[in-house]
Amino acid sequence: MARAPRIAIVGGGIGGLAAALALERRGAEVIVAEQSPALSEIGAGLNLTPNAVKALRVLGVEDTVNAIASGSEFLNIRSWKSGRYISRMRRGDFKQKFGAPNLSVHRADLLEVLAGALRTTQIRLGLRAVAVEPGERRAVARFADGTTIEADIVVGADGIHSVVRTSLFGADVPRFTGCICWRGMAEASALPHDIDVRDGALWMGPHGHVVHYPVRRGELLNIVAHCDSDAWTEESWTQRCDVSEVMATYTGWNPALTRLYPCSTRWYKWALYDRDPLMRWSRGRATLLGDCAHAMLPYLGQGAAMALEDAYVLAAMVTRHADDLSAALTAYEQIRAPRARAAVMGSRERARENHLASPWARLVRDVKFALRQRFGGSGKNHDNTAFQVGWLYEYDVGKEAG
């Protein structure tokens, strides 16, 4: 009987823990090395589109995620100033159309679900990776305290500033998108009673847009505001700022939106970057997964979804090619890279359309959204969704990878 493969995963975020779960359930010996002293996630919300929920299904945690998630009947696309409804994209029928619902969760809650499902995985905290050495038969991960982990495969799941990616392919230059984001999280009990926030909302204006949606069974409202600006270029998700900065930026926007801002007791800001998609993800017995392979803008809501899909496909290929793990990494990359690249480029295009400055261009865009909602086809791709993303949502990673 063949020995169970030993897999080391650098990074204990959503992608890393999903990969650990997928691999251990297929019998692998898994070690997760996380640089933080505890498994934790930033206090932010996360949109899980139907393809992400289907990935959670085949990972065996869909029901647990459902219990801590929020769902909404509509995504309401609204005008920044008047508040008029441009389109009401019905999410309530996504389960019927795409095989799974659209959910929203708190990132920390999803991380807790994934960690709680692990049974045999070793999680080693406080290990900051400094290099990975990919060999033809084994790979070695090296850490700042002198610790080394040797494994049949080392997986980089260490995010947009990936040490593993740099070790394998050299340093690259991130692409600043010219956009700044602010995020807040408000208690539902603190929200104005005359503003309906049960559904997700997307407010679209010149040089910016704002989204908000419920998380944690509706107990919290996640708010993310985007604005074209190069006045601040720090990538950190943990930089605090004052609500007055957000209020000043969105002066003139509809009060049904701006009255929500003071309800969050903490605001954070960061600058948006992405990376050009890599042509290769693997070198020797080391590979990449999630943001370190395909960091993308958030405008199609696919960052976590792509990482969850990556995790399942990687484990499936390791099982399918158990006698040749190099072939497993090649197959993994061949399945995942084209889809991830399309998501990266699609997110860039969505960013452009979200922030149109010209009133005429915005009107044309808004009419398209309304027409897609009302007259869109009901065929295979279901691209009557406002953003024509049926090709993303209909994907079922379990059927793709087996």
Q: Which residues are catalytic?
A: 213
At what angle are helices 14-24 and 107-117 packed, to 10 degrees? 20
CA distance readout (Å), 91 to 70, 217, 280, 377: 12, 16, 35, 16
H-helix or E-strand spanning residue 210: strand 208-215
- Give the residue from 179, 246, 172, 165 showing the smallest Cα distance to 212: 246
Whether residue 132 contacts residue 156, with contact meaning beta carbons closer than 8 Å, is answered with yes
Q: At what angle do helices 325-354 and 303-320 cross, to 10 degrees?
A: 170
- In angstroms, how far is CA 294 from the centroid of its own chain? 11
Distance (Å, rounded) from C-alpha 200 to C-alpha 191?
15
Query: Which 8-state DSSP code applies to residue 389?
Result: -
User: Which H or E run contains 206?
Assistant: none
Given CA atoms 284, 23, 39, 262 in this order, what sign does their dihedral have? positive
- Residue 218 has φ and ψ, to the nearest 5°, of 85, 5
Read off the DSSP letter of residue 70: B
Give the amino acid at 380.
Answer: K
| Residue 17: strand, helix, or coil | helix
Of the chain, the end-to-end C-alpha distance in Å amounts to 22
Q: Return the HEC string of 33-68.
A: EECCCCCCCCCCEEEECHHHHHHHHHCCCHHHHHHH
- Enumerate residues 6+ apart whose C-beta is below 8 A from 112: none
Alpha helices in 225-302 (DSSP H): 243-249, 255-258, 291-294
Q: What is the distance between the alpha carbons of residues 107 and 113, in angstroms, rounded to a whole number?
A: 10
